[in-house]
Amino acid sequence: MERMWTIVRKEFYHIFRDYRTLAIIILLPTFLLILLGYGVSGDTTDVAIAVADLSKTDASRRYVEYFTSSDQFKVEYDVLSENEILNLLDHESISAGILIPENFGSNLSIGKPTSVQFYVNGSDPSIAQTTNLQLETIASMATQTILTEQLTRSAGALGLSNLEMPIEVHMKTLYNPDGKSKIYMIPGLTAMVLQVQALLLTALAIVREREQGTMEQLVVTPIRSWELVLGKILPYLAVGIFNTIATLLVAVYLFGIVIEGSFWLLVLLSTIFVLGSLGMGVLISNISRTQMQAMYLAVGIVLIPAIILSGLMFSREGMPWVTYWFGEMLPITHFLIIIRGIMVKGVGASFLWSSIQALLILSVVYFAASVATFKKRL
């Protein structure tokens, strides 16, 4: 028993003498729970919608107010045509759109039925289902209220046999009308697989040199920091490009996913994403002293938040600003928009430019940070 307690004291000594590892072990679980807890517990409110009110009447404005009077929807864009709504949906700027026809107000004023067209982004079936249900519920309540007002005004002049619903709602789900979850999830899983491989391969690269004692050989060479970092990254970048093509082919031929957009544009942008992920891995490797520290940081700071905060599993709408902006710092957040936009929607680079720009900036920043933090010393 005494020998066992000797081992116990020894292990505690090793834990407490390495303050960096001790801080990671103690603080990281609490930090993750706080960060991710807000990420998954936030209710989806103020869902962004666009309204094309072609009627421009008091009746149409009151109808829109039914949807904005609660905190479920928020009109982010007042547009003038159906094409503008579809363009905003392509850009992921809104989750739904409402098109009110020109004759909306005049038809209601004379008791003639009219119609309203709703558009919903169906890329994510779970979010689309919730949005559809909320829109249909509010639309039904609005129709019932308008019908009651019409009956009150007519003072019973219309018989029940002539009773017609004043507003007919048409719901159109775009991009994934059948609600197949694999169409949305397979592109997301492809991005996650590429992220995991790129990050873990390089997160151990520099720290492994230190632990194996081969860093001494690099220290005495005239190689510059950026040359060493780039030399560490390039082989894994080649592997990442190969795996990108392989995973996309598996998605197409095994899971039946149709790539609606350009295959080679997707491969090019995937290369930028892999490069940014490799830079993050080298950065983690530079600031770690042991492989265990590198693994803790890679999994705790990048991989777990990437699952929760990037939009892979949970909607980012309604997240507190802290968790939202933490997700913005992850390359996978922007790459998910890119890969789903190309594979599911078939959009091009012009539609995805804001996400491409963010991905480029993050890739450059993480590579520069990995160079800046690397020191040719033991």
Q: Which of 146-160, 164-178, 245-259 has the lowest average pLDDT? A: 146-160
Q: Which residue has the higher pLDDT, 127 or 16?
A: 127
- Residue 270 predicted with pLDDT over 90: yes
pLDDT score of 273: 94
**Strongest mean pLDDT among 38-42, 230-234, 286-290, 343-347:** 343-347
What average pLDDT does the structure give for the chain? 81
Report yes or no: 255 and 186 within 8 Å, Cβ to Cβ.
Answer: yes
8 A C-beta contact, residue 107 and residue 113: yes
- Collapsing DSSP states into helix, strand and coil, what is residue 77? strand
Q: Distance between the two ends of the chain, CA-based, in angstroms?
A: 39
User: Rounded distance, CA 262 to CA 285, Å?
Assistant: 35
Given a cut of 90, is residue 9 above it in pLDDT?
no
Rounded to an integer, the average pLDDT of 50-67 is 91
* pLDDT for the residue numbered 245: 93
According to CATH, the topology of domain 47-174 is abc type-2 transporter like fold (3.40.1710)
328 SS3 class: helix
> 353 to each of 83, 91, 334, how far by Cα in Å?
19, 9, 10
pLDDT at residue 25 in the model? 63
Residues with Cβ < 8 Å from 349, sequence gap 6 or more? 265, 356
Q: List pLDDT tens digits, range 72-98.
A: 888 889 998 899 998 888 887 888 999
Most confident region among 34-48, 221-235, 302-316 by mean pLDDT: 302-316
Range 253-266 burial, b when 16+ CB lie within 10 A, else e: eeeebebebeeebb
Res. 16: pLDDT tops 80: no
Distances (CA, A) of 171 to 4, 26, 226: 69, 51, 54
Q: How far apart are CA 313 and CA 316, in angstroms?
A: 9
Rounded to whole angstroms, what are the CA distances from 362 to 138, 277, 329? 41, 9, 7
Q: What is the pLDDT of residue 161?
A: 45
DSSP-based three-state secondary structure for 170: strand
Note the pLDDT of residue 205: 75
CB 84 within 8 A of CB 93: no
Angle between helix 181-203 and 205-212 (nearest 10):
30
Most confident of 31-40, 135-144, 153-162, 226-235: 135-144
For residue 9, give both structure tokens.
């004291």
Q: What are the φ/ψ torsions at residue 79 (nearest 5 degrees)?
A: -115, 175
**Per-residue pLDDT band at 69 (split at 50, 70, 90):** confident
Beta bridge partners of 97: 50, 119
Q: What is the pLDDT of residue 118?
A: 94
Q: Provide the Cα torsion 350, 356, 357, 361; round to 10°.
A: -170
Q: For the beta carbon of residue 320, count every other beta carbon within 10 angstroms.
A: 13
For 107-124, write each residue's pLDDT tens digit.
Answer: 888 878 888 999 998 887
User: What's the pLDDT at 159?
Assistant: 47
Q: What is the mean pLDDT of residues 183-203?
A: 88
Q: What percent of the chain has pLDDT above 90?
A: 20
Backbone phi and psi for residue 204, each to the nearest 5 degrees, phi listed first = -100, 0
Domain boundary assignment for the chain: 47-174, 180-373
Dig out the tokens for 352 from the structure: 């995805």
Res 371 pLDDT > 70:
yes
367 or 206, higher pLDDT: 367
pLDDT(37) > 60: yes
Query: Average pLDDT, stretch 206-224?
Result: 69
